[in-house]
Chain A
Amino acid sequence: MSDEEETASQLTDKQKMEIAKWFLLNSPAGEIQYVARDIRAVLKNERVYRAAVAEAFPLYNKAHMICLEFPDRSGEVIVSSFSEIDKNEYLDPRTAQVARVDHVKQVCEDARPANDEELPSSYIEEYRCALDAEIIKYVSEAYPKGVCSVYCANGKDVEEPGSDFELVVLISAARHSPQNFCNGSWRSIWHMEFKDELQIVEVRGKLQVGAHYFEEGNVQLDAKHECKDSTIFQSPDDCAVSLTTIIRHHETEYLNSLQVSYSNLPDTTFKDLRRKLPVTRTLFPWHNTLQFSLTRDIQKNLGLESSK
Chain B
Amino acid sequence: MEAAMGLMRRVPPKHSETALSALLSLLPQHSSDLLSQVDQPLQVLCDVDSGKEFILCEYNRDADSYRSPWSNKYHPPLDDGPYPSAELRKLEIEANDIFAIYCDHLNDQTMDRYYEGGISSVYIWEDENEGFVACFLIKKDGAKTAHGKRGCLQEGSWDAIHVIEVGPVEDETARYCLTSSVMLSLTTNNDSSGTFNLSGSIRRQMNMELSVAEGHLCNMGKMIEEMESKLRNSLDQVYFGKTKEMVCTLRPPSEIIEMRLPDS
Given known A-B contacts A23-B19, A286-B218, A308-B51, A219 and B249 have beta carbons under 8 A apart: no
B29 touches A5 (CB 8 A): yes
B240 touches A222 (CB 8 A): no
Q: Which of B75-83, B111-119, B124-132, B165-173 contacts A (4 or more CB under 8 A)?
A: B111-119
Of chain B, the residue at the smallest CB distance from A8 is: B28
Query: What's the Cα separation between A15 and B111 when bound, in Å?
Result: 52
Taking CB atoms and an 8 Å cut-off, the chain B residues in 137-151 that contact chain A are: 140, 142, 147-151
Is B3 at the interface (CB under 8 A from chain A)?
A: yes
A28 touches B10 (CB 8 A): yes
Query: What's the Cα separation between A276 and B158 when bound, in Å?
Result: 13
Is B63 at the interface (CB under 8 A from chain A)?
A: no
B10 touches A31 (CB 8 A): yes
B225 touches A226 (CB 8 A): no
Query: What's the Cα separation between A214 and B7 when bound, in Å?
Result: 12
Of chain A, the residue at the smallest CB distance from B23 is: A42
Taking CB atoms and an 8 Å cut-off, the chain B residues in 28-60 that contact chain A are: 28-29, 31, 51-52
Query: What's the Cα separation between A145 and B252 when bound, in Å?
Result: 11
A217 touches B28 (CB 8 A): no
Contacts beyond the supplied A251-B251, A264-B152: 12 A-B pairs with Cβ under 8 Å: A16-B26, A38-B3, A42-B3, A183-B246, A218-B200, A261-B196, A269-B150, A269-B152, A269-B153, A273-B153, A275-B107, A276-B229
Contact with A along B223-254 (1 / 0, CB 8 A): 00100110011011011101111110111111
A175 touches B218 (CB 8 A): no
Is B198 at the interface (CB under 8 A from chain A)?
A: yes
A interface list, Cβ under 8 A from B? 1, 4-5, 7-8, 11, 15-16, 19, 22-23, 26-28, 31, 34-35, 37-43, 141-146, 173-175, 182-186, 207, 209, 211-214, 216-226, 251-262, 264-266, 268-280, 283-284, 286-287, 289, 292-293, 295-296, 299, 304-306, 308
Q: Which chain B residues lie closer than 8 Å to A39 at the CB level?
A: 3, 7
B250 touches A209 (CB 8 A): yes
Query: What's the Cα separation between A274 and B106 when bound, in Å?
Result: 7
Q: Sort A-B residue pairs by CB-CB distance and give the 7 closest, nearest first.
A: A225-B194, A219-B200, A217-B202, A257-B193, A41-B3, A184-B246, A272-B142
Query: What's the Cα separation between A299 and B238 when bound, in Å?
Result: 42
Of chain A, the residue at the smallest CB distance from B51 is: A308
Chain B interface, number of residues (Cβ within 8 angstroms): 99
Q: Which chain A residues lie closer than 8 Å to B229 at the CB level?
A: 276-277
B interface list, Cβ under 8 A from A? 2-4, 6-15, 18-19, 22-29, 31, 51-52, 97-98, 101-102, 105-116, 140, 142, 147-153, 156-158, 184, 186, 188, 192-204, 214, 217-218, 221-222, 225, 228-229, 232-233, 235-236, 238-240, 242-247, 249-254, 257, 261
Query: What's the Cα separation between A28 and B6 when bound, in Å?
Result: 13
Of chain A, the residue at the smallest CB distance from B107 is: A275
Question: Nearest-CB distance from B57 to chain A (Å)?
Answer: 19
Question: Nearest-CB distance from A264 to chain B (Å)?
Answer: 7
